């Protein structure tokens, strides 16, 4: 009997979500990666560059304004910052890709902050 690791289970969920969620130029995908220390996110147009994708905007917890916050506040602050960057690029509607994580805790705080920042998710 083989043991399925936590990473393998998340990867399986991630692939299942990605089969259903795709970003376009009008409605790009917000991809979230959550590590033990912080949160990263990108806004991606999956159809650009002959299907290989194009990153429109990104945000990382390692940026100086987010590094001193606790994890939940950090997720909310990065969500608002990403929303500002995407609005500056002229996009107001996105698709949320939770990346195999439960829509709970930091991922939920990030998504709600993106909505508060003015994007339609």
Distance of CA 67 to the CA centre of its chain: 18
- Low-confidence spans in the chain with pLDDT less than 70: none
Compute the residue count for the chain: 121
pLDDT for 32: 95
pLDDT for 46: 87
pLDDT for 48: 82
Closest CA to 118 of 80, 68, 64, 66: 80
pTM for the whole thing?
0.89
pLDDT for 104: 94
pLDDT for 21: 87
Alpha helices, DSSP H only, in the chain?
A: 6-20, 71-88, 106-116
């Amino acid at each position: 009997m083989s043991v399925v690791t936590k990473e393998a289970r998340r990867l399986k969920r991630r692939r299942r979500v990605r089969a259903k969620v795709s970003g376009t130029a009008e409605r790009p995908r917000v991809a979230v990666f959550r590590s033990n220390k912080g949160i990263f996110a990108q806004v991606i147009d999956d159809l650009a560059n002959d299907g290989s994708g194009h990153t429109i905007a990104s945000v990382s917890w390692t940026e100086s304004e987010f590094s001193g916050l606790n994890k939940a506040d950090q997720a909310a602050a990065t969500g608002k910052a990403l929303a500002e960057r995407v609005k500056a690029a002229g996009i107001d509607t996105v698709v949320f890709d939770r990346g195999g994580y439960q829509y709970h805790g930091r991922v939920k705080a990030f998504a709600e902050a993106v909505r508060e920042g003015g994007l339609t998710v």
